[in-house]
Amino acid sequence: MNAPSSAIESVLVENRVFPPSAATVAAARIAGMPAYEALCAEAARDYEGFWARLARDNVRWIEPFTRTLDESSAPFYKWFDDGVLNASANCLDRHIGTPVEHKTAIVFEADDGAVTRVTYRELLARVSQFANALKARGIRKGDRVVIYMPMGVEGVVAMQACARIGATHSVVFGGFSAKALQERIVDAGAVAVITASYQMRGGKELPLKAIVDEGIALGGCESVKTVLVHERTASAWNRVAGRDQTFVEALQDRSTECAPEPVGAEHPLFILYTSGSTGRPKGVQHSTGGYLLWAKLTMDWTFDIRPGDVFWCTADIGWITGHTYVAYGPLAAGATQVIFEGVPTYPNAGRFWQMIERHQVSVFYTAPTAIRSLIKAADSDAAVHPRNWNLSSLRILGSVGEPINPEAWMWYYTHVGGERCPIVDTFWQTETGGHVITPLPGATPLVPGSCTLPLPGIMAAIVDETGHDIPDGAGGMLVIKRPWPSMIRTIWGDPDRFVKSYFPEEMGGTIYLAGDGAVRSAGGPAGSGVDRGYFRITGRIDDVLNVSGHRMGTMEIESALVAKTDLVAEAAVVGRPDDLTGEAICAFVVLKRARPTGEEARQIANELRNWVAKEIGPIAKPKDIRFGDNLPKTRSGKIMRRLLRSIARGEQITQDTSTLENPAILDQLGQTN
């Protein structure tokens, strides 16, 4: 593990504090810090009782649980495990017969601006009908179904329909390549793939079904008996007889009623692949009961969601944010949400602001990368500055996926939120299922760039390699000391890797290691009246990069590069800070031929970028590729990554290079092509 990065210094200097207004506090569900403290005290006093109360109040159980937490096979924790429920019933059926039944569940805005609305009643009918279509194809409880869909109502319907019949879905982001898709289908042993013929992004029609065919053709996907295709556009696509069916065909004559399948609380609701320290993505497995509790509860706590709100989370359903805060949380909370098919810069970089005004969005949740790119666009073109739109419907802003730099925070606060809306900087991960460290809009005084305090019941701490607490003010590793309901249950098919990745023996084997460095201030922000220390995330401590809020393993990209066997002998990938994307991917490559320079180097670098896009997806393309005759290695042959990190940042090498086998290589790698 690498030491937590030096970003600690730069974030510690922030001392602006933004307390919530008296009016915000008065109206909030968790109203003021005393209310937050009371919930924390309840969790400290009776941990299981706290969670049991919340699970009873927030989840609709078909059969109530009698056991709250089972730690007997730690770290394979079980929550509410004798309880029986259905996730889809908790998102849809629960609203029938209430005022939510005829409320708009989804406002869908297509890439071209066309808008469609679906009520809760209609959504229930569509999900039920789709669930019946899945059953008609022989898909049953416990089967795995891969979903490879654009953003739209259909993607959410597909996820909810799987949940309704107890099938475990695994959504693969539509930007992943055929190879990445195939690896996930194989690992999950999927019996079906749900996809679209094409996706529309930024005015362009991009194939999806063709990529599914290409992926399946790579082999090992014999388990896939069904491919369901949503015909998004009128363009033709290739049909495999017997296996492929359009949505229209699959739904024909299917009833719009389907009783939700009762499942145990620990039943795997979904598997979502994410990057880790090794080349192979890990299938993070989530439960039904604990996950759903947290999706619903964090909508209430973090977003303080109310009946009249219009919620918009811009994340794709291919990521965890799109699971918890698009497909499940807003529905469980009975909210109206916006789903957007396109990209923030089409037809211009004012699209988000225009949509907020158009749909009267009150709670807006996006990623720092999007904010940074929209700041840049507004700086160079006044016509796309948010001031051109009426954003007075906004009440709460959220940030997710990567650290938000104080400059971007201030711009978001001032120009989007009109200095009126609290920003919830939500720290969490695919593995945590939902927010774990975040401000509460009606309680927590905000500090730009800090995710502030753990949610009630989340026992976050900062420790050293042996699991011992680190004094406030010093950086260390972020851990969560007690299990919580929405945590990862295992890595699909690889329980050993689950234990090794998240519950290191040196820390005692039962506390969750997040993989991020963090620092907590000594005491609360000056003058805020809060005496608890605030958390700041300082970046990953493993070989995982965060590029535009997308998680990428360095080893994954290295494996992709060396898979180009005709060209590449060796590759090492590191990250370097980037103003726009947070981190940028920098690859150092040794070719099987002489080191190229000039035009040839540029050409080969492009060839390699396109290769990586084909192997993983365009998000994994290295921004910077440098060629060397060799890589900096110790005499025992180990690549010295810390040196590569310095080179990538353009820093003077001040580290000790005496153990280096080939010091001259440093100069060569320092040259850009």
- Say how far apart CA 487 and CA 287 lie, in whole Å: 8
Burial of residue 468, with CB atoms counted within 10 A of its CB: 0-12 exposed, 13-18 middle, 19 or more buried: exposed
316 binds ligand PRX (CB under 6 A): no
286 binds ligand PRX (CB under 6 A): no
Please give the backbone phi and psi of residue 289, each rounded to the nearest 5 degrees, phi first. Answer: -70, -55
- Return the range that interacts with ligand PRX (CB under 6 A); candidates 23-31, 95-103, 120-128, 401-409: 401-409
Determine the residue type at 424: V
- Return the range that interacts with ligand PRX (CB under 6 A); candidates 223-231, 421-429, 560-568, 654-662: 421-429
321 binds ligand PRX (CB under 6 A): yes
- Say how far apart CA 303 and CA 309 lie, in whole Å: 10
For residue 464, the minimal CB distance to ligand PRX (Å) is 19
274 binds ligand PRX (CB under 6 A): yes
450 binds ligand PRX (CB under 6 A): no
CB closer to ligand PRX out of 68 and 170: 170
551 binds ligand PRX (CB under 6 A): yes
For residue 113, the minimal CB distance to ligand PRX (Å) is 28
**Nearest to ligand PRX by Cβ — which residue?**
430
DSSP state, residue 430: G
Q: Which two tokens stand for residue 206?
A: 């991009």
Q: Out of 85, 185, 250, 451, which residue is the one contacting ligand PRX (CB under 6 A)?
A: 451
Cβ burial 407-433 (10 Å sphere, 16+ → b, else e):
ebbbbbbebbbeebbbbbbbbbbbbbb
For residue 516, the minimal CB distance to ligand PRX (Å) is 5
Burial of residue 62, with CB atoms counted within 10 A of its CB: 0-12 exposed, 13-18 middle, 19 or more buried: middle
CB closer to ligand PRX out of 65 and 340: 340
Question: 282: phi > 0 → left, psi -120 to 50 → alpha, else beta; which?
Answer: beta
- Say how far apart CA 304 and CA 441 lie, in whole Å: 7
409 binds ligand PRX (CB under 6 A): no
Place of tokens 């990953």: 540
CB closer to ligand PRX out of 428 and 512: 428
Question: 467: phi > 0 → left, psi -120 to 50 → alpha, else beta; which?
Answer: left
- Say how far apart CA 370 and CA 401 lie, in whole Å: 11
- Say how far apart CA 668 and CA 630 lie, in whole Å: 9
143 binds ligand PRX (CB under 6 A): no
CB closer to ligand PRX out of 126 and 540: 540
Q: Out of 320, 384, 488, 586, which residue is the one contacting ligand PRX (CB under 6 A)?
A: 320
Q: Out of 86, 226, 430, 646, which residue is the one contacting ligand PRX (CB under 6 A)?
A: 430
- Say how far apart CA 280 and CA 187 lie, in whole Å: 10
CB closer to ligand PRX out of 332 and 451: 451
CA distances from 465 to 73, 75, 285 (A): 23, 18, 26
- Return the range that interacts with ligand PRX (CB under 6 A); candidates 374-382, 400-408, 526-534, 598-606: 400-408
Residues 500-519 that bind ligand PRX (CB under 6 A): 515-516
Place of tokens 């896939």: 224
For residue 133, the minimal CB distance to ligand PRX (Å) is 31
Q: Out of 537, 561, 574, 616, which residue is the one contacting ligand PRX (CB under 6 A)?
A: 537
- Return the range that interacts with ligand PRX (CB under 6 A); candidates 153-161, 369-377, 396-404, 493-501: 396-404
Question: H or E segment at 184?
Answer: helix 178-188
- Angle at alpha carbon of residue 551, lines to 372 and 265, rounded to 5°: 115
For residue 184, the minimal CB distance to ligand PRX (Å) is 15
Place of tokens 């353009």: 650
For residue 583, the minimal CB distance to ligand PRX (Å) is 10
**How many residues would you count in the chain?**
673
Residues near 136 by beta carbon (within 8 Å), at least 6 away in sequence: 250, 254
For residue 275, the minimal CB distance to ligand PRX (Å) is 8
Residues 198-227 that bind ligand PRX (CB under 6 A): none
- Return the range that interacts with ligand PRX (CB under 6 A); candidates 29-37, 409-417, 422-430, 454-462: 422-430
426 binds ligand PRX (CB under 6 A): yes
Q: Out of 213, 316, 402, 543, which residue is the one contacting ligand PRX (CB under 6 A)?
A: 402
- Return the range that interacts with ligand PRX (CB under 6 A); candidates 165-173, 227-235, 350-358, 424-432: 424-432
Pairing type for strands 78-79 and 69-70 reads antiparallel
427 binds ligand PRX (CB under 6 A): yes
362 binds ligand PRX (CB under 6 A): no
For residue 425, the minimal CB distance to ligand PRX (Å) is 5
Q: Out of 260, 334, 350, 401, which residue is the one contacting ligand PRX (CB under 6 A)?
A: 401
403 binds ligand PRX (CB under 6 A): yes
Burial of residue 273, with CB atoms counted within 10 A of its CB: 0-12 exposed, 13-18 middle, 19 or more buried: buried
CB closer to ligand PRX out of 154 and 425: 425
Pairing type for strands 192-196 and 144-148 reads parallel
For residue 544, the minimal CB distance to ligand PRX (Å) is 7
616 binds ligand PRX (CB under 6 A): no
- Per rule CB under 6 A, count of chain residues that contact ligand PRX: 20
- Return the range that interacts with ligand PRX (CB under 6 A); candidates 395-403, 410-418, 598-606, 625-633: 395-403
486 binds ligand PRX (CB under 6 A): no
For residue 429, the minimal CB distance to ligand PRX (Å) is 4
Cβ burial 537-555 (10 Å sphere, 16+ → b, else e):
bbbbbbbbbbbbbbbbbbb
- Angle at alpha carbon of residue 614, lines to 610 and 617, rounded to 5°: 95
DSSP-derived 3-state class of residue 512: strand
Burial of residue 37, with CB atoms counted within 10 A of its CB: 0-12 exposed, 13-18 middle, 19 or more buried: middle
Q: Out of 546, 548, 554, 581, which residue is the one contacting ligand PRX (CB under 6 A)?
A: 546
- Note the residues at the interface with ligand PRX (CB under 6 A): 274, 320-321, 400-403, 425-430, 451, 515-516, 537, 540, 546, 551
